[in-house]
Amino acid sequence: MKAELLRLAILVGVAAATPVLAACDPAKPSLTPSSRYVVRGGEVYDTTTNLTWSRCSVGQRWRDGKGCVGAVKQMVWTDALKQAKGAWRMPTKDELVTLTSPSCRHPAVNDEVFPGMDEKKMAYWSGVDYGAHYAWAVHFADYSNNYGYYGGRPLAVRLVRTGK
Protein backbone atom coordinates (compact mmCIF):
# COMPACT_ATOMS: atom_id res chain seq x y z
CA MET A 1 0.00 0.00 0.00
CA LYS A 2 2.83 2.42 0.88
CA ALA A 3 4.53 1.82 -2.49
CA GLU A 4 1.26 2.45 -4.33
CA LEU A 5 0.69 5.71 -2.44
CA LEU A 6 4.23 6.88 -3.24
CA ARG A 7 3.74 5.94 -6.91
CA LEU A 8 0.51 7.93 -6.95
CA ALA A 9 2.30 10.88 -5.32
CA ILE A 10 5.03 10.72 -7.94
CA LEU A 11 2.51 10.60 -10.77
CA VAL A 12 0.69 13.69 -9.52
CA GLY A 13 3.94 15.46 -8.71
CA VAL A 14 3.69 15.96 -4.96
CA ALA A 15 6.80 14.06 -3.87
CA ALA A 16 9.84 16.12 -2.93
CA ALA A 17 12.48 16.68 -5.61
CA THR A 18 15.36 15.01 -3.79
CA PRO A 19 17.93 12.45 -4.91
CA VAL A 20 17.07 8.94 -3.76
CA LEU A 21 18.88 5.70 -3.03
CA ALA A 22 17.42 2.35 -3.97
CA ALA A 23 15.86 0.16 -1.32
CA CYS A 24 16.69 -3.41 -2.38
CA ASP A 25 15.60 -6.71 -0.87
CA PRO A 26 18.86 -8.47 0.10
CA ALA A 27 17.10 -11.85 -0.09
CA LYS A 28 16.50 -11.42 -3.83
CA PRO A 29 19.24 -11.11 -6.43
CA SER A 30 19.41 -7.86 -8.37
CA LEU A 31 18.86 -8.10 -12.11
CA THR A 32 21.09 -5.04 -12.54
CA PRO A 33 24.32 -5.67 -10.56
CA SER A 34 27.13 -3.16 -11.08
CA SER A 35 29.27 -5.95 -12.57
CA ARG A 36 26.93 -5.99 -15.57
CA TYR A 37 27.98 -2.49 -16.61
CA VAL A 38 31.12 -0.83 -17.94
CA VAL A 39 31.09 2.75 -16.71
CA ARG A 40 32.96 5.40 -18.72
CA GLY A 41 32.33 8.84 -17.23
CA GLY A 42 28.88 9.94 -18.35
CA GLU A 43 28.17 6.75 -20.31
CA VAL A 44 27.33 3.22 -19.24
CA TYR A 45 27.73 0.17 -21.47
CA ASP A 46 25.40 -2.71 -20.58
CA THR A 47 27.21 -5.96 -21.40
CA THR A 48 23.95 -7.92 -21.28
CA THR A 49 21.99 -5.86 -23.82
CA ASN A 50 24.82 -4.32 -25.93
CA LEU A 51 23.41 -0.86 -25.24
CA THR A 52 25.21 2.28 -24.10
CA TRP A 53 23.14 4.54 -21.86
CA SER A 54 23.54 8.15 -20.91
CA ARG A 55 24.36 7.95 -17.23
CA CYS A 56 22.33 11.06 -16.48
CA SER A 57 18.79 12.00 -17.41
CA VAL A 58 18.16 14.71 -19.99
CA GLY A 59 18.65 18.05 -18.25
CA GLN A 60 21.55 16.76 -16.17
CA ARG A 61 25.20 16.46 -17.15
CA TRP A 62 27.97 14.21 -15.86
CA ARG A 63 30.73 15.75 -13.75
CA ASP A 64 33.63 13.58 -12.63
CA GLY A 65 33.75 13.45 -8.85
CA LYS A 66 30.23 14.90 -8.51
CA GLY A 67 27.99 12.60 -10.56
CA CYS A 68 24.89 13.82 -12.38
CA VAL A 69 24.44 17.53 -11.75
CA GLY A 70 21.54 19.74 -12.68
CA ALA A 71 17.84 19.07 -12.69
CA VAL A 72 16.11 16.19 -14.46
CA LYS A 73 14.14 17.83 -17.26
CA GLN A 74 10.61 16.65 -17.96
CA MET A 75 8.83 17.11 -21.25
CA VAL A 76 5.88 15.91 -23.27
CA TRP A 77 6.54 12.94 -25.54
CA THR A 78 6.77 14.86 -28.82
CA ASP A 79 9.49 17.07 -27.30
CA ALA A 80 11.21 14.03 -25.80
CA LEU A 81 11.61 12.54 -29.28
CA LYS A 82 13.53 15.67 -30.33
CA GLN A 83 16.26 14.99 -27.73
CA ALA A 84 17.79 12.21 -29.86
CA LYS A 85 20.87 13.38 -31.76
CA GLY A 86 23.47 11.46 -33.72
CA ALA A 87 23.60 7.86 -32.55
CA TRP A 88 21.64 8.71 -29.38
CA ARG A 89 17.94 7.84 -29.45
CA MET A 90 14.93 7.32 -27.27
CA PRO A 91 14.90 3.77 -25.88
CA THR A 92 12.13 1.30 -26.51
CA LYS A 93 9.92 0.32 -23.58
CA ASP A 94 11.63 -3.08 -23.44
CA GLU A 95 15.08 -1.45 -23.37
CA LEU A 96 14.08 0.84 -20.50
CA VAL A 97 12.73 -2.12 -18.54
CA THR A 98 16.20 -3.78 -18.71
CA LEU A 99 17.45 -1.06 -16.36
CA THR A 100 15.00 -2.11 -13.65
CA SER A 101 15.23 -4.77 -10.98
CA PRO A 102 12.08 -6.06 -9.26
CA SER A 103 14.07 -6.52 -6.03
CA CYS A 104 14.61 -2.74 -5.71
CA ARG A 105 12.33 0.26 -5.23
CA HIS A 106 12.61 4.05 -5.29
CA PRO A 107 14.42 3.73 -7.68
CA ALA A 108 14.20 0.27 -9.14
CA VAL A 109 17.45 0.95 -11.03
CA ASN A 110 21.08 0.57 -9.99
CA ASP A 111 21.69 3.96 -8.40
CA GLU A 112 25.47 3.46 -8.30
CA VAL A 113 25.54 3.17 -12.08
CA PHE A 114 22.71 5.67 -12.69
CA PRO A 115 23.04 8.28 -9.92
CA GLY A 116 21.04 11.44 -9.51
CA MET A 117 17.55 9.99 -9.81
CA ASP A 118 14.93 12.49 -8.68
CA GLU A 119 12.17 10.99 -6.53
CA LYS A 120 9.65 13.40 -8.04
CA LYS A 121 10.59 12.55 -11.64
CA MET A 122 10.83 8.76 -11.95
CA ALA A 123 8.48 8.22 -14.87
CA TYR A 124 10.47 8.01 -18.15
CA TRP A 125 9.25 8.11 -21.73
CA SER A 126 10.12 5.41 -24.21
CA GLY A 127 10.31 6.16 -27.92
CA VAL A 128 7.43 3.77 -28.62
CA ASP A 129 3.93 5.04 -29.27
CA TYR A 130 0.82 3.21 -28.18
CA GLY A 131 -1.69 4.25 -30.81
CA ALA A 132 -2.96 7.74 -31.39
CA HIS A 133 -1.90 10.21 -28.68
CA TYR A 134 -0.28 7.69 -26.32
CA ALA A 135 3.26 6.40 -25.71
CA TRP A 136 4.84 3.84 -23.39
CA ALA A 137 6.53 4.95 -20.19
CA VAL A 138 8.50 3.11 -17.50
CA HIS A 139 8.26 4.11 -13.85
CA PHE A 140 11.63 3.70 -12.19
CA ALA A 141 10.07 4.04 -8.74
CA ASP A 142 8.67 0.53 -8.92
CA TYR A 143 9.70 -0.90 -12.34
CA SER A 144 6.17 -0.77 -13.75
CA ASN A 145 5.37 0.26 -17.30
CA ASN A 146 2.25 1.61 -18.88
CA TYR A 147 1.19 4.12 -21.47
CA GLY A 148 0.48 7.80 -21.04
CA TYR A 149 -1.16 10.54 -23.02
CA TYR A 150 1.78 12.14 -24.76
CA GLY A 151 0.29 15.58 -24.94
CA GLY A 152 -0.29 15.60 -21.20
CA ARG A 153 1.96 15.28 -18.18
CA PRO A 154 5.67 15.75 -18.91
CA LEU A 155 7.98 12.84 -18.06
CA ALA A 156 11.76 12.39 -17.84
CA VAL A 157 14.03 11.08 -20.62
CA ARG A 158 17.18 8.91 -20.68
CA LEU A 159 18.92 8.38 -24.02
CA VAL A 160 20.54 5.23 -25.37
CA ARG A 161 22.52 4.02 -28.34
CA THR A 162 23.24 0.56 -29.68
CA GLY A 163 26.72 -0.92 -29.09
CA LYS A 164 29.78 0.51 -27.38
Query: Taking the alpha carbons of 160, 54, 44, 125 in that order, is the dihedral positive or negative?
Result: negative
What is the C-alpha separation between 128 and 130, in angstroms, rounded?
Answer: 7
Q: How many structural domains are present in the chain?
A: 1
DSSP 97-118: HTTB-TTEESSSB-TTTS---B
Parent domain of 10 = 2-162
What is the C-alpha separation between 113 and 6, in angstroms, rounded?
Answer: 23
- Of 161, 37, 59, the C-alpha closest to 110 is 37
Q: What is the pLDDT along the chain (164 residues), one digit of tens a residue?
A: 333 323 333 333 333 344 556 676 667 667 778 899 999 999 999 999 999 999 999 999 999 999 999 999 999 999 999 999 999 999 999 999 999 887 776 777 888 899 998 989 999 999 988 888 889 899 888 767 676 666 678 999 999 999 99
